[in-house]
């Protein structure tokens, strides 16, 4: 079963994308995000989508406009992650049949995102909101709303965030930093996957 974890590959280049993607897939991560402020992000997405095919859902992060959504879709992307809540971005994502993960902090943003059709909500930055703030937001969300924590979540605190009610996580610098080779990224991914499973026996 696919884990509710998104690997964030900020700064990756097209030439290393496929090797890193294969390493992440082997470690158990099958949702991969290439932020659009990476070098040649659409080319990295295209290569990952072609190489991994149906084995993984590849897409983009730091997506801010409907035009960028269309560019990612044309490159073969299947998921869109944003740092903010823009209904027009969410609606275009869903119109094109892709999964939408908009960034939210407040209940107002959360409900705007859900009204626009968000697949799941990205609590960002989670480290700023904190566990108590997250629980307050979680308490008012409709039953069944998937909430992902992004920013400051990893091996050391998965258990606390899971116990407090998050459903998934986006993994950034704990997983990948520019210059890391595929083998090291794969090892980091394995440790993160093991820690997530330990925090959530149901997975």
> Which of 16, 33, 92, 109 is an active site residue?
33
CA atoms 133, 135, 141, 144: torsion sign: positive
Categorise residue 122: left if φ over 0, alpha if ψ from -120 to 50, beta otherwise.
beta
Q: Is 122 a catalytic residue?
A: yes
CB-based burial, 79-94: b 16+ in 10 Å, e otherwise: bbbbbbbbeebbbbbb
> Which of 16, 92, 109, 122 is an active site residue?
122
45 in Cβ contact with 72 (< 8 Å)? yes
Q: Is 184 a catalytic residue?
A: no
User: Which residues are tagged catalytic?
Assistant: 33, 122
């Amino acid at each position: 079963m696919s884990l509710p974890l998104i690997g964030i590959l900020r700064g990756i280049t097209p030439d290393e994308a496929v090797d890193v993607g294969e390493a992440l897939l082997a470690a158990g991560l099958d949702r991969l995000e290439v932020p659009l402020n990476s070098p040649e992000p659409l080319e990295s997405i295209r290569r990952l989508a072609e190489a991994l095919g149906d084995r993984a859902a590849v897409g983009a992060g730091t997506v801010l406009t409907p035009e960028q959504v269309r560019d990612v879709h044309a490159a073969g992307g299947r998921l869109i992650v944003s740092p903010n809540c823009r209904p027009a971005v969410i609606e275009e994502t869903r119109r094109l049949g892709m999964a939408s993960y908009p960034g939210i902090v407040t209940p107002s943003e959360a409900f705007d995102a859900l009204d626009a059709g968000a697949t799941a909500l990205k609590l960002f930055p989670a480290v700023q909101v904190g566990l108590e703030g997250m629980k307050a937001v979680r308490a008012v969300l409709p039953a069944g709303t998937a909430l992902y924590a992004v920013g400051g979540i990893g091996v050391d605190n998965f258990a606390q965030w899971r116990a407090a009610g998050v459903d998934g996580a986006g993994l950034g610098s704990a997983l990948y930093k520019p210059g890391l080779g595929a083998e090291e990224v794969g090892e980091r991914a394995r440790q993160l996957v093991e820690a997530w499973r330990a925090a959530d026996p149901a997975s």
